[in-house]
Amino acid sequence: MTNSAIVGVMWGDEGKGRMVDLLTDNYDVVVRFQGGGNAGHTVVNERGTFALHLLPSGIFRDGVVNVLGNGVAVDPQSLVEEIDSLAKRGVAVTPENLKISDRASLVLPWHRDLDELEELRLGERRYGSTKQGIAPFYADKHQKKTVLAGELFYPDDLRRHLAELLEWKNLTLTEVYGSKPYSIEDLEAWLEGCCERMRPFVCDTAAFLERAQGEGKNILFEAQLGSLRDLDYGIYPFTTSSNTTAAYAPIGSGLPSARIDNVIGVMKAYSTCVGEGPFVCELRGEDAEPLREAGGEYGAKTGRPRRVGPVDLVAARYGVKVQAANEIALTKLDVLSFMERIPVCVAYLMGGRETEDFPFPLALDSALPVYEYVDGWMCDISGARTWEDLPCKAREYVSLLERRIGCPITYVSVGPERDSIIVRK
C-alpha cells in the first residue's frame, strides 16, 4: 500500500492534473482534499483535452474511485455542470467512481455574488479572485455559516438551517453591498435542481477511505494550486483560502490517520502566476509574449493570460520545503526549446543584499531577481522518452535546478500528452 500526494510547489498551474492522470494507473483511489472549482487542471489523454475544475483527475481511469474530501469547497451547481460536460464527451461519472464527503461544506448561491461584489468594491486593489465564491465560502465555513453535504439527507433540518443563513446573509448583501437579497424560492430552486442531482454521490467517505486503507489500497491525494498560494505559507493575502500543502491532505481528505509516504511536488521549468500579488521574476509587456505563447499560458478556468517569467529557484526551494516534497516532476521543459540563453533566478536582491531565502510576503515587493544564464538547447525535445534522449544542455538545465532546489527531479515532462514523459528512477 502506498499513499502519495501530488502537490504544486509554485503558484499553481504546474501541471498537477497531467501528473495525476499519468500516475493513477498505480492507484485505486484519488482524493481532492482542499480548494474548489476555482482553478483548472488540464488533462490530455486518449479521450481528448479536458479542463477539470472540481473533479479529481482520476475520473478518466476505469476502476479508480474519486473522492471529494471534507476540505473541498463543493459547489453543487458547478459540479453537476462538470459532470454533464464530461458525460457529453463519453466520460461517465457515477456514484461508483465519484464519492463526495457528507462532511464537505457546500458553496451556497450567494458566495459567488459576494466574491464578485467584494472585488468590485476593491477596484484597483482587488485580489484577482476567479469569482467562484471560494474566499467567502471558506470564511463562512470557519464561521460555521454554511451547510454540510450530508444535510441533504435531512431535508426539514436543512430547510430550517438555510432559512437562518438566508436571513443573516441578506443583511450583508443588502446593507453592506446594496445588492439584491436572496429569497426562500431561490434556495428551493437550488435544492431541487443541482443539490438533488448531487445527492446520490454524497456518502460517508471517511468510512470508505478507512476501508480502502485497511484493504491496502493505494491512495493518491491531489492538490489544487501550489505552495505559494497556501493560506498559511503563501504570499498572503494573495493566497487562496485553503491549505494547498501535503500536510493538510490527511485532514482535508477525511483520513486523518493517513501517513503520506511520498510527496511528488510538481514544478514548471519556468514561472507562471495567475492573478494578483508579488511575482519577483515577472517579464512584462512584449518581453513576456514569446514565453507566454510558447507555453500557451492562459488560465484553464478563466482564459486570463498568465503572468510569466524565468524559473524562480528561491520560490521553488521554499515551495519544495513547505510541501516536504521528496521528489519533483518538472513539467513543460519543451516550452523552453526556443530560447538561446535561459535565465535562472538563483537569489533575490533585497536592501543591497543577496538572499536565497524566501522572505516575508511584504518584503517581496522590493525584491529583485538575480539571474544566472545557461545555454539553451534550441531543438525540439518533445519526442524524448529517456534521459539520454535529451540534449546535453537540457540535461544540464534539469540538473542545475535539481541541485539548487535540493530535491531529486524524477519525472521530466516534455509535452501535455500522457506519454510525453521521462521517468528517471
Binding residues for ligand GDP (CB under 6 A): 8, 12-18, 39-42, 44, 300, 331-332, 334-335, 413-416
Bond preceding residue 237 cis, omega within 30 of 0: yes
Q: How far is the CB of 264 from ligand GDP (least distance, A)?
A: 12
- Minimal distance, residue 419 CB to ligand GDP, in Å: 11
As measured in angstroms, the least distance from the Cβ of 83 to ligand GDP is 19
- Across 282-311, b (16+ Cβ under 10 Å) vs e yields bbeeeebeebbebbebebbbbeeebbbbbb
CA angle 370, 229, 246 (to 5 degrees): 110
Which DSSP state fits 286? G
Distance CA 245, CA 229 (A): 9
Report the residue number, 8 or 71, with the smaller CB distance to ligand GDP.
Answer: 8
Nearest approach in angstroms of CB 60 to ligand GDP is 13
* Closer residue to ligand GDP, CB minimum distance, 24 or 146: 24
On whether the CB atoms of residues 365 and 351 are closer than 8 A, the answer is: no
Please work out, in degrees rounded to the nearest 5, the angle formed at the alpha carbon of residue 218 by the alpha carbons of 215 and 220: 135
Grid cell for residue 275? 492573478
Q: How far is the CB of 273 from ligand GDP (least distance, A)?
A: 12
Instruction: Indicate which residue of 13, 115, 230, 312 is catalytic.
Output: 13
Instruction: Give least dist CB 150 to ligand GDP, A.
Output: 28
Place of cell 530535491: 407
Residue 271 or 331 having the CB closest to ligand GDP: 331
| Residue 298: alpha-carbon gap to chain centroid | 15
DSSP sequence for 56-69? -GGGGSTT-EEEE-
Helix 392-405 × helix 313-323 angle, to 10°:
60
Q: Which is nearer to ligand GDP, 31 or 147 (CB)?
A: 31
Which set of grid coordinates corresponds to residue 415? 509535452
Residue 13 annotated as catalytic = yes
As a whole number of angstroms, the distance between CA 219 and CA 62 comes to 15
| 372 versus 402: smaller Cβ distance to ligand GDP | 402
CB of 42 or CB of 253, closer to ligand GDP: 42
Residues 6+ apart with CB under 8 A from 227: 7, 8, 9, 10, 233, 234, 244, 245, 318, 319, 320, 322, 323
Of these residues, 21, 28, 41, 113, which one is catalytic? 41
Q: Is 41 a catalytic residue?
A: yes
> What are the residue numbers of the active site?
13, 41
